Amino acid sequence: MPEAAFPDQLLQLLDSHVSVRSFTGEPIAAGALERLVRAAQRAPTDATGQLYSFIRVRDRGLRDEVARLSADLEQMRTASELLVVCLDAHRIERLLAHRGEELGMRPLVALLFGITDAALAAQNLVVAAEAMGLGTCYIGALQNHAPEVARLLQLPQRVVPLWGLCIGVPKERAPTKPRLPIGLVLHEDRYREPTPGELDAAYAIMAKATRSGDWLNPIKKYFARGGHMGEREETLAELLRQQGLAP
Amino acid sequence: MPEAAFPDQLLQLLDSHVSVRSFTGEPIAAGALERLVRAAQRAPTDATGQLYSFIRVRDRGLRDEVARLSADLEQMRTASELLVVCLDAHRIERLLAHRGEELGMRPLVALLFGITDAALAAQNLVVAAEAMGLGTCYIGALQNHAPEVARLLQLPQRVVPLWGLCIGVPKERAPTKPRLPIGLVLHEDRYREPTPGELDAAYAIMAKATRSGDWLNPIKKYFARGGHMGEREETLAELLRQQGLAP
């Protein structure tokens, strides 16, 4: 069978994405991490701002601490590399100060453009890593105790840890997870409300992403009243106050 | 010369990224946009939340309006497709309500996880589009009058327009822009402050991204006191109040 052309290979790579939650622990090739960060740096960034930093957690004790503060996930212990991806509005402030200028960007805009820059760069890194046969996993649970993570990593004012990012050699690969029907995500000219039938169809498709067979269970656990996302609000508010980016 | 292997081709693709600011206007192939959105949907998303929506702006008059509200950029008028990428915490609220549950996620967390989901999905789309030979351009200037854009697109509460995204056949391709030295972006174990010499080196490298030969000009225009990013703060605060996500 002839090999697929590059665009098809890439679409297949994106389609086959799964977050990897168990790694062999083998180190990745020398120079690979730097190559991945260079790929990340090529991502688009508004006004050449590059409002992000990667903290590569190499020290074993430090990594255990960060893992412990993030729900103690196996993938954080077994990954070859653990990065903490940060919004960084401090470096641009230093660059401006170096030439006698003051930062004029304020918290909400720093959050919007900083999270965007960090996410675009991180996703470039993830796609590049997967093309090399590596596995990755973003760690949103870093938000559970992010003020402590910021202190551990000695992040200055206006640098905010957003997520962990595990990179390594996959030990096992789960099947891909379903996604919402495209009609709920892609709208034409104006926002279109889903019909009750479409909501039922969404639950039916997303059921395959769950162990229980009912998608309500995970989305309730995270997004409903009393769920994890609600619990994270106060911690995130504290983090932003601590790092000088409270809106 | 033998063709490069897939991982090298992908790294070359990422390395050669430029935002395209002039398109031929030719339509993209039938089905291509849907294929790109499906690639976007495969991006990682915390807790299967998929907190984003794409509004495909097809109506010509509507597109002109959105362009006019975003600094009237040529690429918004000549692109084959213009998407408005939105944070969407409304759909998960509807899904929960459909099963008798209330949304518990509050504004700051909705911003962090929603912007992240939207950016990861959009960047998958951008990489896939570039692999197909198309050009793309994110439009941060959509933030200049985003409350009006939200009304035009009839976005419900908890849906927030983040950026425009132009997709089309490139008319011309600018040279790639430089990026900061990797040592300023990748830190080991703890945040490392740049030295004055490193700041000078950053300006020297980034000068190639400018017409004037001094990177201070663009970063001052955007990020310093009196710059565009500062001006956007009040508008973004108004947008978040209007859309029910004020922190």
pLDDT beyond 90 at A23: yes
Q: What is the DSSP string of B113-128?
A: HHHHHHHHHHHHHHHH
Share of chain A above pLDDT 70, in %: 99
- Determine the pLDDT at residue B4: 78
- Determine the pLDDT at residue A54: 98
Query: What is the spatial distance between Cα B124 and Cα B13, in angstroms, rounded to a whole number?
Result: 13
The per-residue pLDDT for range A53-95, each reduced to its tens digit, is 999 999 999 999 999 999 989 999 999 999 999 999 999 999 9
Mean of pLDDT values over A163-186: 96
CB A109 within 8 A of CB B229: yes
Angle between helices B107-131 and B6-15 (to 10 degrees): 110
Mean of pLDDT values over A178-202: 98
Mean of pLDDT values over A211-232: 97
Q: Is the pTM of this model over 0.95?
A: yes
Map residue B199 onto helix, strand or coil: helix
Per-residue pLDDT of chain B (247 residues; tens, 9 = 90+): 456 799 999 999 999 999 999 999 999 998 999 999 999 999 999 999 999 999 999 999 999 999 999 998 999 999 999 999 999 999 999 999 999 999 999 999 999 999 999 999 999 999 999 999 999 999 999 999 999 999 999 999 999 999 999 999 999 889 999 999 999 999 999 999 999 999 999 999 999 999 999 999 999 999 999 999 999 999 999 999 999 999 9
Among A191, A208, A222, pick the best mutation site for testing chain B contact (most B Cβ within 10 A).
A191
In angstroms, the separation between the Cα of residue B229 and the nearest Cα of chain A is 5
Among B3, B101, B189, B235, pick the best mutation site for testing chain A contact (most A Cβ within 10 A).
B189
First to last CA, chain B: 56
* Candidate from B17, B196, B223 with C-beta closest to A104: B223
CB B161 within 8 A of CB B146: yes
Taking the Cβ of residue A122 and every Cβ of chain B, the question of whether any pair is shorter than 8 Å is answered with yes
pLDDT beyond 60 at A1: no
Q: Which residues of A touch B155 (CB under 8 A)?
A: 191
Q: Which ranges of chain B does DSSP label H, i.e. alpha helix?
A: 6-15, 32-41, 60-68, 74-78, 90-98, 107-131, 146-152, 196-206, 216-223, 228-242
Q: Do A14 and B163 touch (CB under 8 A)?
A: no
CA–chain centroid gap for B114, Å, is 13
pLDDT beyond 70 at A195: yes
Mean of pLDDT values over A21-46: 96
Q: What is the mean pLDDT of chain A?
A: 97
Taking the Cβ of residue B12 and every Cβ of chain A, the question of whether any pair is shorter than 8 Å is answered with no
In angstroms, the separation between the Cα of residue A183 and the nearest Cα of chain B is 10
